[in-house]
Amino acid sequence: MSAPGSTRRRPRGRERNRALWFWTFVGPFVAGLALFTYVPLAWSVYLSLFDAHNTVSPTDFVGLDNYTAMLGDPAFRSSLVTFAVFTAFIVPATYALSLGLALAVNRLRFAQAFFRSVFFLPSACSYVVAAMVWKLSVFNGVRFGLANTVLGWFGAEPVAWLASTDPPWYWLVIVTVRLWLQAGFYMVLFLAGLQRVPVRLYEAAALDGARPGWQTFRHITFPALRATSVAVVLLLVVGAFQAFDEFYNLLSDSRGYPPYARPPLVYLYYTALGQGQDLGLGSAGAVILALIIAVVTVVQSRVSGLGRKEE
Amino acid sequence: MPAKTERTAPVRTADDALVRAGRALRLVLLIALAALFLIPFYLLVRNGLASEEEITSAGWTFFPSRPHWSNVRELFADPDVPMAHALLNSSLIAVATTAGTLLLASLAGYGLARIPYRHANAVFYAVLGTLMVPAAVTFVPSFVLVSSLGWVSTLRGLIVPTLFSAFACFVFRQYFLGFPRELEDAAQVDGLGYWRTYWRVVVPNSRPVFAAVGTIVFIGAWNSFLWPLVIGQGRSSWTAQVALSTFTTAQTINLHELFVAATASIIPLLLVFLLLQRYIVAGVERSGIDD
């Protein structure tokens, strides 16, 4: 610290000086955050109470009508079902694959960096590019698509992957693209978790006669990864809720977006910025979604004890 | 340690065979998975270098008969596909967003971590609170704000609202809390104030965290799609992602040009990624779970 004499002589001046420096460092960031996060949020709540077609300064107050309209809309409810189905597939799939990759890569004696890089590399790819490869090359509905070519080697007929709802093969396309993009990211989180498991736990288990492999995993590794697992599942669920890019890019074409498989954000996008530009209804939807995500996050944190342990 | 080898000595042969078989199986599986993970990259390059007929031919070939480098020239000469301009926009946005975010978030993180101020905690919680609001859900209200500022279809509208990352600020604050205080104390004894201590002592000694946050922000900015789709409504403000998406859903598309465009759009990122991978890994580990 600086000279103690000055502290005693002018405590007031020092305090003011610190406040000044604090706001010099923090002020620009907080001002921007307030303008571009808090103001839009407040404005959104305000707009959601108005009939706001195509305008950001509406005059027609409608109370909670936008909310009742949104919650009563079967299309909005079906968007929530779409999200639930998507989550039910993508969360366990990513969890299992990323944990499996981490376990396999973690104990490699050689080429560890190579395998880690290969699995992590898709994290650098955008959803747009990945969706393009999936839609136009791998899961193209015609004979030249890679998946249909491979099926053809076994004598199977080409499958219209994205165009048919019965059977809903599009789920396979949507889930695999996200799985490819995000598994490596979560693998890195698990690798970090694995490195923190104390070696003496394994030594103690070996002394107690636990065989390496399943027993050790079941009784040592898996419990030790609990905090990581909780955080990964939380991130996966919130991430699934925000799914937009791959749905939009895989399913929409020159004729627009099909009526099926619209997760909440896609639905919201078309409500607020599509033909009607209904910003009041869109804002109500955004508020509802934010609340749902908040509730899911809080409930999940409570159930799994996230935060309590880490604080 | 020596005790361990003695313990396994009597049963070595049986166990060893099993362990070795397990290891071999795991390696085969990993190689197969690695090949699967690389297929999409291979397809990007294969289709980008093939002719239109070869892409849509029912008879699958692993490599085009000869590489059609002319696809690259065709793409950038095509007047219907403003890909060069879109790539330029993406570069400007990614660089500006990264620089701005690093500056604003690191200053704020340092102030929150190190300058004793009565309301510092309240400010910190106000910042933390915005982490709870998923960015994607705020695109409707943010669009409303940006359009009322008249910033739709401008680079300003694409960059400025994304500069205030609570996530980046949080990572910097946690990092600076663990920064060795002795270094700063020495600087302050030398008569440097907060400002000069920050620039001369703290920043030069914190390069890894800047690199980690910077690469994550850069990749996020380059790949972001929803916000540029919402704001970049005019062709002149398209980013690479928006341009690609628009061509994918267009009525008539030149597949070979499209795949060249997609490849061009991931090359800068793959370079950043491969060069700075260890910082990304460090950043992901630091930010994801630890705090």
CA distance B37 to A156: 24
- ipTM for the complex? 0.88
The pLDDT tens digits for A48-80 are 999 888 777 777 888 899 999 999 999 999 999
The pLDDT score that the predictor gives to residue A305 is 66
A vs B: CB pairs below 8 A: 272
The pLDDT score that the predictor gives to residue A306 is 58
Structural domain boundaries enclosing B206:
73-286
SS3 B92: helix
What value does the mean pLDDT take over residues A152-181? 91
Closest listed residue to residue A133, CA positions, set A181, A91, A101, A184 = A181
- pLDDT band of B274, cuts 50, 70, 90: confident
A residues 257..276 contacting B (CB < 8 A) = 265, 268-269, 272-273
The pLDDT score that the predictor gives to residue A9 is 52
The answer, yes or no, to whether residue B275 has pLDDT greater than 90, is no
- Which chain A residues contact residue B143 at CB under 8 A? 272-273
Q: Is-contact B239 B232, C-beta < 8 A?
A: yes
Can you name the residues that pair with A50 across neighbouring β-strands?
A61
Buried-state track B15-39, b at ≥16 Cβ within 10 A, e below 16:
eeeeeeeeeeeebeebeebbeebee
B56 shares its domain with B103? no
- Which chain B residues contact residue A310 at CB under 8 A? 291
Return phi, psi of residue A262, to 5°.
Answer: -105, 105
CATH number at residue A212: 1.10.3720.10
- Which chain A residues contact residue B160 at CB under 8 A? 32, 36
What value does the mean pLDDT take over residues A274-282? 85
Please check whether residue A172 lies inside any domain of the structure.
yes
Structure tokens at B109: 């993180």
The pLDDT tens digits for B125-175 are 999 888 877 777 788 889 989 988 999 999 999 999 999 999 999 999 999
Structure tokens at B83: 């890909």
The pLDDT tens digits for B212-252 are 999 999 999 999 999 999 998 888 999 999 999 998 887 77
Please check whether residue B11 lies inside any domain of the structure.
no
Q: Over chain A, what is the mean pLDDT?
A: 87
Interface test with A, best of B254, B287, B289 (most A CBs within 10 A): B289
- pLDDT band of A304, cuts 50, 70, 90: confident
B48 shares its domain with B142? no
Beta carbons within 8 Å of B184's beta carbon, 6+ residues apart: B114, B197, B201, B202
Q: How far is A263 from chain B (nearest CA, A)?
A: 12
The pLDDT tens digits for A89-146 are 999 999 999 999 999 999 888 888 899 999 999 999 999 999 999 999 899 888 888 8
The pLDDT score that the predictor gives to residue B3 is 44
Can you name the residues that pair with A256 across neighbouring β-strands?
A253
B62 shares its domain with B77? no
Please check whether residue A40 lies inside any domain of the structure.
no
Interface test with B, best of A1, A33, A214 (most B CBs within 10 A): A33
Please check whether residue B280 lies inside any domain of the structure.
yes
Identity of the residue numbered B288: G
Please check whether residue A70 lies inside any domain of the structure.
no
The answer, yes or no, to whether residue B182 has pLDDT greater than 60, is yes
The answer, yes or no, to whether residue B291 has pLDDT greater than 50, is no
Q: Is-contact B239 B154, C-beta < 8 A?
A: no
What value does the mean pLDDT take over residues B189-210? 90
B97 shares its domain with B216? yes
Q: Is-contact A267 A252, C-beta < 8 A?
A: no
Structural domain boundaries enclosing A93:
78-277+290-304
Structure tokens at A188: 């890195």
The answer, yes or no, to whether residue A84 has pLDDT greater than 90, is yes
Number of domains composing chain B: 2
In chain B, whose CA is at the least distance from the CA of A212? B19
Q: Is B277–A293 a contact, with Cβ atoms under 8 angstroms apart?
A: no
Which of B67, B93, B126 terminates a domain? The answer is B67
- Which chain A residues contact residue B144 at CB under 8 A? 40, 43-44, 47, 56, 279, 283
Q: Is-contact B254 B78, C-beta < 8 A?
A: yes
In chain A, whose CA is at the least distance from the CA of B159? A36
The answer, yes or no, to whether residue B14 has pLDDT greater than 70, is no
- Which chain B residues contact residue A233 at CB under 8 A? none
| Cβ of residue A38 closer than 8 Å to a chain B Cβ | yes
Q: Is A118–B38 a contact, with Cβ atoms under 8 angstroms apart?
A: yes
The pLDDT score that the predictor gives to residue B60 is 77
Please check whether residue B40 lies inside any domain of the structure.
yes
Q: Is B115–A25 a contact, with Cβ atoms under 8 angstroms apart?
A: yes
The answer, yes or no, to whether residue A174 has pLDDT greater than 90, is yes
B89 shares its domain with B48? no
> Which one has a higher pLDDT value, B60 or B201?
B201
B21 shares its domain with B165? no
Number of domains composing chain A: 1
Which of B33, B50, B67 terminates a domain? The answer is B67
The answer, yes or no, to whether residue A2 has pLDDT greater than 50, is no
The answer, yes or no, to whether residue A4 has pLDDT greater than 50, is no
Closest listed residue to residue B111, CA positions, set A117, A27, A286, A182 = A27
